[in-house]
Amino acid sequence: MPELNPRQFSQLPPLAAIRVFEAVARHLSFTKAAKELGMTQAAASYQIKLLEERVGAPLFLRRPKQIVLTEAGQRMAPAVSEAFALLSGAYSAARTGADGVLCVSTLLTFASNWLAQHLGSFQVAHPSLAVRVDTSNRVVDFAREDMDIAIRSGGGNWPGVETHMLFRADFTPVLSPRLAASIGGVNEPADLLKLPILDPCDIWWKEWFALAGVPAEELASRPGTSMGAQAYEANAAIAGHGVAILTRALFKAELADGRLIQPFDLVGDDGHAYWLVYPTARRNVPKIRAFRDWILAEIACQ
């Protein structure tokens, strides 16, 4: 560990002021930052004033109904956020080491259709590490929430986190054999429009039919229910209630045993994928490293 000069600490501004600055810079709002920190807006403004006096320059520009970071504020904000992330990572590593509880935030369909089917091998390899899975569509805030790792779907460009692509979030129509047989088989993409479409307003349908060269404007006027997760839509499709548009990698078993069929090889890809993500500052925490190495090896074997 490098030796630190005590004078360096005496030059630091009060930690409370730095904490308020980090929250205001993240929210770009004194009101939201104050609410998060459990203080009044006036108290938050006072801490920023103290910090600006120590820095010798304004950190925010106050404009009607909004604030923005000044050049000095823009220089400080990333370093301050990283410092708090490092502190959080060091505390967590000291508290739990390679044991304890690993908290994983993930999408419902990934949890039910992939993680639940593979997690047993991780538990066998790491019996002293319990895993708690939280299913949600929201993007977890590692700095504010007690989560170690997340599985996200998107483009992979999230600040402050390490990302590892697991597989592409491609999409293609699937349905039950019984529903396909009800119209004498699905022989061309346009045949799908003869059947009930699950979640017809899903943008994937528009993109897939465009790839297939089939006009599908009438989908927008169809009544439909958005179920909020591919797992639910797959269950509805298996029951014969309609055609679903799904990511194949999450439904290998259903396709393999014939509960669902993929009538066409045509697959859409909007550039999104499923990613393993965790805070950059915590990349060497033993439990995070263990889960990362396991899931990447497990994906590679498929």
> How is residue 112 written in tokens?
């039910």
Residue 121 falls within a domain, yes or no? yes
CA distance 116 to 110: 8
Of 100 and 167, which is predicted with more confidence?
167
179 and 240 within one domain: yes
Query: Could you report the per-residue pLDDT of 156-187, keeping only the tens digit for each?
Result: 988 889 999 999 999 999 999 999 999 999 99
Of 220 and 27, which is predicted with more confidence?
27
CA distance 185 to 264: 12
pLDDT category of residue 1 using cuts at 50, 70 and 90: very low
pLDDT category of residue 140 using cuts at 50, 70 and 90: confident
- pLDDT, mean of residues 285-298: 94
The total number of structural domains that make up the chain: 3
The last residue of one of the domains, among 49, 78, 96, is 96
- pLDDT, mean of residues 209-214: 96
280 and 143 within one domain: yes
Residue type, 276: L
238 and 279 within one domain: no
Residue 266 falls within a domain, yes or no? no
The candidate with the shortest Cα–Cα distance to 278, out of 122, 99, 85, 62, is 85
219 and 75 within one domain: no
205 and 244 within one domain: yes
> How is residue 266 written in tokens?
């045509």
3 state SS of 68: strand
CA distance 295 to 144: 25
The last residue of one of the domains, among 62, 96, 130, is 96
CA distance 263 to 178: 13
Residue 142's domain comprises 102-169+272-301
212 and 163 within one domain: no
pLDDT (0 to 100) of residue 9: 47
Residue 82 falls within a domain, yes or no? yes
* Residue 31 predicted with pLDDT over 80: yes
Residue type, 171: F
pLDDT category of residue 4 using cuts at 50, 70 and 90: very low
CA distance 121 to 26: 39
Residue 2 falls within a domain, yes or no? no
287 and 224 within one domain: no
Of 1 and 13, which is predicted with more confidence?
13
Query: Could you report the per-residue pLDDT of 227-255, keeping only the tens digit for each?
Result: 889 999 999 999 999 999 999 999 999 99
CA distance 278 to 123: 20
26 touches 19 (CB < 8 A): no
pLDDT (0 to 100) of residue 211: 96
| pTM score | 0.68
3 state SS of 130: strand
pLDDT (0 to 100) of residue 144: 80
CATH number at residue 86: 1.10.10.10
CATH number at residue 124: 3.40.190.10
187 C-beta neighbours (distance < 10 Å), count: 11
282 and 140 within one domain: yes
- pLDDT, mean of residues 252-272: 96
Could you tell me what percent of the chain has a pLDDT over 90?
Answer: 68
Residue 264 falls within a domain, yes or no? no
Residue 5 falls within a domain, yes or no? no
> How is residue 180 written in tokens?
């396909």
152 and 292 within one domain: yes
The candidate with the shortest Cα–Cα distance to 166, out of 292, 273, 294, is 273
Residue 247 falls within a domain, yes or no? yes
185 and 57 within one domain: no
Backbone angles phi, psi at 269, to 5 degrees: -150, 115
Query: Could you report the per-residue pLDDT of 41-99, keeping only the tens digit for each?
Result: 999 999 999 999 998 999 999 888 889 999 999 999 998 988 887 777 666 655 554 45
Q: What is the 3-state secondary structure (H, E, C) of 132-176?
A: EEEECCCCCCCCCCCCCEEEEEECCCCCCEEEEEEEECCEEEEEC
The last residue of one of the domains, among 72, 96, 120, is 96
CA distance 244 to 264: 13
Query: Could you report the per-residue pLDDT of 145-156, keeping only the tens digit for each?
Result: 889 999 999 999
CA distance 174 to 231: 13
CA distance 279 to 234: 32
92 and 106 within one domain: no
pLDDT (0 to 100) of residue 143: 80
pLDDT (0 to 100) of residue 90: 67
165 and 292 within one domain: yes
